[in-house]
Structure 1
Amino acid sequence: MPNILVTGANGQLGSELRELSSAYPRYTFTFTDRDTLDLSNLCKMEDYFEDKIFDAILNCAAYTAVDKAQSEKDLADAINHRAVSILAKIAKLRNISLVHISTDYVFNGQNYRPYVESDPADPQGVYGHTKRHGENTILSVAPKNTIIIRTSWVYSSFGNNFLKTMLRLGKERDSLGVIFDQVGTPTYARDLAKAVLEILPHINNESPEIYHYSNEGVASWYDFAQAIFELSGVKCTVNPITSDQYPTPAKRPHYSLLNKSKIKNDFNISIPYWRDSLKECLNTLGETK
């Protein structure tokens, strides 16, 4: 029975994988968090693997505080880059499959069509740079049976995210200003988790491959907020604002659409429409009208 290590088990994707794990009895899962496998403590990472055997690593751990990363560069780099290098070397040495989760922030957000995997990376902030360095270290170490999945705008019934923030603020206020000039696709972490588990047995490549995954469709953050309130029945007026009306320490991509043709064709998976998945997540939270 394949033994699967999941890092970042308390994050949005890791939590969804844990929730789904009982539906995949052919696997034995080991879920690790910061207490059991701290990816910021590089000296102890290799020690963790000394007496353990894994068939696959699903690296869901990441430093994702985009704005804080601007002032915590070393910590972000340790988790998003240097720890990934160690995981890639362990995967290569021990012949372990590796699935690494990356982000749309490796791009500059200035495209005019959905990004394909071969488009040049041009991260605009510390978070994006450290995630791109993580991708590059995997590509340079080149373990077999390894894939990198870039995703965008992740939300879940677990953890802190835009969906939960909107639900909270929408119940507290009569109106909210939400950015309309940043466009992408909300991605339900449960859909991504299901895709990873469907893909896992079919990974068979000599060198690492990059894939894109988000839900289907297009939205701005304004559209996303409108849909949250519409589907949940929260009475809150959403006012469109521009990015410069809501300045942040880290620059956000204005265009984050990802082309998913490669992952759909290579692994024969279907991807749900973002509003359908949003409704499913709201149902899980008990927030539908």
Structure 2
Amino acid sequence: MSAVQPGCLWVVATPIGHRDDLSARAIATLREVAVIAAEDTRHSRPLLVHHNIDTPLIALHDYNERDAVDAIVRRMAAGDSVALISDAGTPLISDPGFRLVRAARAAGIRCIPVPGACAAIAALSVAGLPSDRFVFEGFLPAKAAARRSRLQELAGDARTVIFYESSHRVAESLADMRDIFGATREAVLARELTKMFETVLGEPLAELAARVAADPDQQRGECVLLVAGRGEEADAKLAEGQRIFAILREELPPAKAAKMAAAITGAPRKLLYEG
């Protein structure tokens, strides 16, 4: 008897590298649904062939999701079961699928998770950074000014922060993190997880940024960056920055006083200015 219920959306996690990380439940689900909505059918087909899955594929990606959702929801409303997969990992986590899940739920269609790999959680599990509280930021802005602005907003967060980053921007992002979070803040680069050239490097941001900048091999593949949250040392730095800021603003405009206090103490300028 089939375990796949008709007229449902199955959100199925796929491997982030190693093909054998696809769970037995995921394999059974993908074999039994009427159709699989895949981010890139050409990318997903070898994984499905590896596991003897011959279910028909349709494309659902960032460029067609808005137009494709209605047709997929109509299929489920008529009784078809549909599985949603992305190129790697858990759908919707920096991948397409949000519009489909939202539309399915709005139509009263049951959405069922089939959990599995997620690069952010896999990286966190081996990073050696505090994992009781963390925040997932996904990809930082590609443009330097916007990226640095977003990092300034995160500089005071006490939680471990997880980022995805493209290989051709990882060195630049680490340099920005060093400048904004501070040279001594703990950080980890988890690269090519579950693949042949998997590496997990953990060092203070100054050392990690320098190591990655000097080694082209660490600027290849799929990258997850994790940065420890602001700790007691950062709190002390912020307190000193606030003290200096209070003195300087007696004679200077607030923006200039915050910039100078940040340069003197290393405290985040944005926190000084807004605090």
Q: TM-score, normalised by structure 2?
A: 0.34
- Is the radius of gyration larger for structure 1 or structure 2? 2
Higher RCO, 1 vs 2 (CA within 8 Å, ≥6 residues apart): 1
